[in-house]
């Protein structure tokens, strides 16, 4: 049955001013836009006093890790998101072989507390599985570099040989021919952290041949963001002649906030020189990560429970963990702090972790979710020292502790970055099926429209919607979505601009927003009157064969 959206104010995703018109949908396509449309035997949505916009596109999402367990993706559909870019940060469920499966069993499942993960030999295999199961949103996949590297080198910390690099290129080629939109990297953690810039350039040349993009969680987002982070990405984009995307662009850490103007100036200059580089961001001061991932040396994960139980091994872990934190903290501290005694810095670090690191989700002891780390450890291990309690906590939760802590500053950095016209919106969220989560997974897009647009007036509603529709579609090269125009696919959200509001908090992240009335995916109503009705009309969006075919 046709769908007729009546009496709405259309913001079409291009940045053009809102205008009043009706929208007629037939099957999965917008077939007519005009005043006072009338059609017999159709479903009518009254959009009076509502905005009619393209479905939102989340430029950075980890939904692929759990989409088969949460195939309705209600956390995102209820925000108005109809398409998600996944397999980001170099992490994904495909491609995989036995080396990758062992790595994910030992490391990734414990990092994210995701339980047992089923991996797939190829992206095409995973696509088939998802399509047979059915999903509510559209998904666009990147090729996760961590999997590609691990398929060939396992967890070896060395550059590939010439033959091994060719093998990696073949895996990337296979992924691009399956319909991937590009290559993603996570360069702050293994195995991406040991990859050389030269390795990434060579792989990106293959991606560029197919018209894809390079999407990167950069090697440094702190005080080295200009050189180690953006500098490396710019070099890769230039030498591989590829469009690049900065994942969750940020100035991370109090001593990096002052670099914000330089970050903007650098990217503007490089873009003016002809490189196509974009970025995505989320509107929160607290980032989220795995506690075990930032604290424990990689070798601990090989025999996790035993290593965190043996007294002598625990001593070794404590020493290595402190040295890692010590060097990380020192890299961002002014020189004056670096001459302080280590014992004093140790106390400062412990105090920071106790009072500033917030528990988002755990595997077992859910009562500590939302508490700060010091409170959680006092609750669970009242008679133990901080370090002993911390190691017990990591062991007892099987490594699956997600935490948040403030590393960004809205006034000094976030607002200035997100106002740039080349910045799209990406939640960096997860689809959780139990426990708590970061509020961005339920509230990122309504927070932009309710807080940043309506309340703070940082940019117009038209610009806010462009950042989450037309701009990401352009970045990805998806020509049939992201705008409301005749002949485009019918991914549409209808919302109240005066009521849209994110309600999720760090203590209770799993709260749906207010103000989203209808969401349509591929011409099918998925959210009706503010409720997800279970429709599974999403698709795997494959990169078109004619998007680009450049010589290597």
Q: Pick from 529, 528, 302, 288: which is nearest to 432 by CA?
A: 288
pLDDT band at 341 (very low <50, low <70, confident <90, very high): confident
Residue finishing a domain among 365, 383, 405: 405
Query: pLDDT confidence of 339, banded at 50, 70, 90?
Result: low
Contact between 168 and 208 under an 8 Å Cβ cutoff? The reply is no
pLDDT score of 347 more than 90: no
CATH of the domain at 469: 3.20.20.140
> Quick check: is 345 in a domain?
yes
Q: What gap in Å lies between CA 328 and CA 321, rounded to an integer?
A: 11
Residue 551 confidence (pLDDT)? 36
SS3 content of the chain, % helix, strand, coil (to 5): 40, 20, 40
Looking at the fold, whether 227 and 345 belong to one and the same domain comes out as no
Enter the tokens of residue 339: 């001459």
Torsions phi, psi for 310 (to 5 deg): -70, 125
Beta strands in 137-266 (DSSP E): 138-141, 143-144, 182-186, 213-217, 243-246
What is the count of structural domains for the chain?
Answer: 2
Residue 30 lies in a domain: no
Q: In sequence order, which residues have a C-beta less than 8 Å from that of residue 327 and are 6 or more positions away?
A: none
Output the pLDDT for position 550.
36
Per-residue pLDDT, 108:
77
In a domain? residue 353: yes
Domain boundary among 405, 427, 446: 405
pTM for this entry? 0.94
Residue 529, domain member (yes or no) = no
CA–CA separation, 348 vs 342, rounded Å? 10
Q: What is the DSSP string of 18-40?
A: PEEEEEEEETTEEEEEETT---S
At 408, the pLDDT band (50, 70, 90 cuts) reads very high
Indicate whether 401 and 412 sit together in one domain: no
Domain that holds residue 363: 290-405
pLDDT per residue as tens digits for the range 386-405: 999 999 999 999 999 999 98
Do residue 180 and residue 217 come from a single domain?
yes
In a domain, 328, yes or no: yes
Residues 101 and 230 in one domain: yes
Same domain for 199 and 90: yes
The answer on 470 and 401 residing in a single domain is no
Both 115 and 92 in one domain: the answer is yes
Measure the CA–CA gap between 256 and 408, rounded to whole angstroms: 9
pLDDT tens digits along 113-151: 666 789 999 999 999 999 999 999 999 999 999 999 999
- CA quadruple 297, 301, 303, 306: dihedral sign: positive
Q: Does a structural domain hold residue 22?
A: no
Beta bridge partners, 520, equal: 492, 525
Same domain, 256 and 331: no
The reply to whether 355 falls in a domain is yes
Answer yes or no: do 416 and 268 share one domain: yes
Per-residue pLDDT band for 105 (boundaries 50, 70, 90) equals: confident
**Residue predicted with more confidence, 545 or 41:** 41
Contact 151, 97 (CB under 8 A): yes
Indicate if 148 and 109 belong to the same structural domain.
Answer: yes
Compute the average pLDDT of residues 463-472: 98
Q: What is the pLDDT of residues 147-188, one digit of tens each?
A: 999 999 998 989 999 999 999 999 999 999 999 999 999 998
Is a pLDDT exceeding 80 seen at residue 552?
no
End-to-end, the C-alpha distance of the chain in Å comes to: 47
Contact of 4 with 24, CB cutoff 8 Å:
yes
Q: Is 528 exposed, middle or buried (0-12, 13-18, 19+ CB in 10 A)?
A: middle
209 close to 550: Cβ distance less than 8 angstroms? yes
> Per the domain annotation, does 41 fall within a domain?
no
Q: Are the CB atoms for 475 and 278 separated by under 8 Å?
A: yes
Pair (222, 116) in one structural domain: yes
DSSP state of 422: T
| 270's tokens | 């490089």
Cα distances (Å, whole numbers) of residue 507 to 78, 367, 450: 20, 11, 20
Average pLDDT over residues 84-103: 95
Q: Are residues 123 and 229 in the same domain?
A: yes
């Amino acid at each position: 049955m046709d769908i007729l959206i009546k009496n709405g104010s259309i913001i079409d995703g291009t940045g053009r001013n809102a205008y009043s018109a009706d929208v007629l949908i037939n099957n999965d396509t917008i077939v007519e836009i005009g005043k006072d449309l009338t059609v017999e035997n159709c479903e009518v949505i009254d959009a009076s006093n509502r905005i009619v916009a393209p479905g939102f596109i989340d430029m950075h999402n980890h939904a692929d890790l759990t989409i088969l367990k949460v195939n309705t993706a209600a956390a995102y559909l209820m925000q108005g998101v109809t398409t998600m870019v996944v397999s980001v940060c170099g992490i994904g469920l495909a491609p995989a072989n036995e080396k990758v499966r062992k790595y994910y069993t030992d490391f990734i499942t414990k990092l994210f507390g995701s339980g047992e993960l089923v991996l797939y030999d190829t992206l095409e295999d995973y696509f088939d599985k998802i399509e047979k199961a059915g999903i509510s949103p559209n998904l666009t996949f990147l090729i996760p570099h961590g999997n590609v590297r691990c398929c060939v080198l396992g967890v070896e910390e060395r550059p590939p040989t010439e033959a091994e690099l060719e093998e990696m290129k073949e895996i990337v080629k296979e992924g691009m021919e399956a319909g991937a939109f590009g290559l993603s990297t996570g360069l702050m953690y293994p195995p991406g952290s040991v990859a050389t810039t030269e390795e990434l350039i060579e792989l990106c040349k293959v991606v560029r041949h197919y018209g894809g993009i390079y999407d990167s969680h950069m090697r440094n987002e702190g005080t080295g963001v200009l050189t180690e982070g953006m500098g490396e990405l710019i070099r890769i984009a230039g030498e591989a002649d590829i469009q690049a995307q900065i994942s969750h662009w940020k100035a991370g850490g109090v001593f990096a906030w002052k670099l914000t103007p330089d970050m903007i100036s650098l990217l503007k200059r490089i873009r003016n020189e002809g490189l196509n580089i974009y970025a995505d961001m989320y509107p929160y001061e607290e980032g989220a990560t795995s506690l075990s991932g930032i604290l424990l040396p990689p070798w601990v994960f090989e025999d996790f429970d035993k290593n965190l139980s043996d007294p002598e091994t625990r001593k070794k872990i404590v020493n290595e963990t402190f040295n890692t934190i010590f060097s990380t903290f020192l890299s961002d501290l002014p020189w004056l702090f670096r001459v302080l005694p280590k014992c004093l810095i140790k106390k400062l670090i412990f105090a920071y972790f106790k009072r500033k690191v917030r528990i988002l989700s755990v595997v077992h002891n859910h009562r500590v979710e939302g508490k700060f780390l010091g409170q959680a450890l006092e609750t669970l291990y009242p008679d133990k020292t901080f370090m002993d309690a911390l190691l017990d906590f990591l062991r007892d939760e099987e490594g699956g502790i997600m935490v948040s802590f403030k590393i960004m500053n809205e006034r000094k950095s976030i607002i200035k970055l997100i106002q740039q016209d080349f910045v799209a919106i990406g939640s960096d969220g997860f689809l959780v099926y139990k426990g708590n989560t970061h509020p961005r997974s339920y509230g990122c897009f309504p927070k932009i429209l309710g807080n940043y647009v309506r309340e703070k007036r940082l940019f117009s509603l038209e610009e806010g919607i462009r950042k989450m529709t037309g701009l990401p579609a352009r970045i990805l090269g998806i020509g049939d979505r992201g705008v409301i125009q005749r002949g485009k696919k019918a991914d549409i959200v209808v919302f109240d601009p005066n009521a849209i509001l994110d309600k999720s908090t760090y203590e209770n992240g799993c709260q749906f927003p207010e103000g989203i009335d209808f969401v349509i995916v591929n011409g099918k109503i998925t959210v009706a009157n503010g409720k997800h009705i279970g429709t599974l009309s999403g698709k795997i969006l494959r990169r078109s064969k004619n998007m680009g075919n450049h010589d290597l």
